Amino acid sequence: MITLALSKGRIFDDTVPMLAAAGITVDPAVVNSRKLILPTGDPGLRLIIVRASDVPTYVQYGAADLGVAGKDVLIEHGGEGLYQPIDLGIARCRLCVATSAGFDYQNAVRRGARLRVATKYVTAARRHFAEKGVHVDLIKLYGSMELAPLVGLADAIVDLVSTGSTLRANNLVEVEEIMQVSARLIVNQASLKTRSERLEPLLAAMRAASRAKETA
């Protein structure tokens, strides 16, 4: 049995059509149940539902052979024990620095000010500001980052943005793009060696499905 780890939400919603393109169906009735282990139309493949940030951990330890995880999540995890063979091009967004509309970020950076930055993405944020030579105090948060500048917890946030509507709703502005983010297929390194006969056809099908989506 091959196990594929997915998170509910946009990763799941974008992956299921790619599986369908690869000939693997997922029964909608099963999706809407509260079950965390889901069968597929392929008796040799099952899905497990985990938190987005836990997907690399399940795959790293071999509890799942494969998973789908955002580049953001993979950077924070570190990628140990994982192959990342395919950028699926799904769940696209960008990692950005945002501040209150009234905060002059560029000027603060020019002055060499020390910035307080709240984020869930501390590894990516630390790397970004180190490369820019900006001194920051990072404050780790687990959600609702948009609130931090509004109540004086931080000067800036590092967060994922897709449409920008959440930033706008909270009177924040994007002041810098750190990177483009999309979700990748990840594979347990040992699984790829010991179960390659089962995994290679699935990888090939997913690669074909992601290329077909690109040109569509």
Instruction: List the one residue from 91, 136, 138, 203 that touches ligand ADP (CB under 6 A).
Output: 91
Using CB atoms, what's the residue nearest to ligand ADP? 70
> Which residues in the 61-80 window bind ligand ADP by CB under 6 A?
70, 72-73
Instruction: List the one residue from 30, 39, 51, 201 that touches ligand ADP (CB under 6 A).
Output: 51
Q: Nearer to ligand ADP by C-beta: 50 or 109?
A: 50
**Which of the ranges 8-16, 58-66, 150-158, 169-177 carries the binding residues for ligand ADP, by CB under 6 A?**
8-16
**CA–CA separation, 74 vs 82, rounded Å?**
9
CA 84, chain centre distance (Å): 13
Q: Residue 35 corresponds to which tokens in the numbers above? A: 């079950």
Query: Least Å distance between CB 147 and ligand ADP?
Result: 15
- 117 forms bridges with which residues in the sheet? 138, 156
What letter would DSSP give residue 36? S
Compute how many other C-beta atoms are within 10 angstroms of the C-beta atom of residue 62: 14
Cα–Cα nearest to 15, from 203, 194, 7, 71: 7
Instruction: List the one residue from 52, 109, 138, 154 that touches ligand ADP (CB under 6 A).
Output: 52
Per-residue contact string for residues 150-189; x = within reach of ligand ADP by CB under 6 A: ----------x-x------------------x-x------
Exposed / middle / buried, residue 169 (Cβ in 10 Å: 0-12, 13-18, 19+): exposed
CB 204 within 8 Å of CB 4: no
Query: Least Å distance between CB 71 and ligand ADP?
Result: 7
CA distances from residue 159 to 98, 117, 146, 188 in whole angstroms, order as listed: 8, 10, 8, 28
Q: Classify the C-alpha dihedral 88-180-186-141 as positive or negative.
A: negative
Query: Least Å distance between CB 200 and ligand ADP?
Result: 26
**Which of the ranges 6-14, 78-86, 100-108, 200-208 carries the binding residues for ligand ADP, by CB under 6 A?**
6-14
Q: Which residues bind ligand ADP (CB under 6 A)?
A: 7, 9-11, 51-52, 70, 72-73, 91, 93, 160, 162, 181, 183
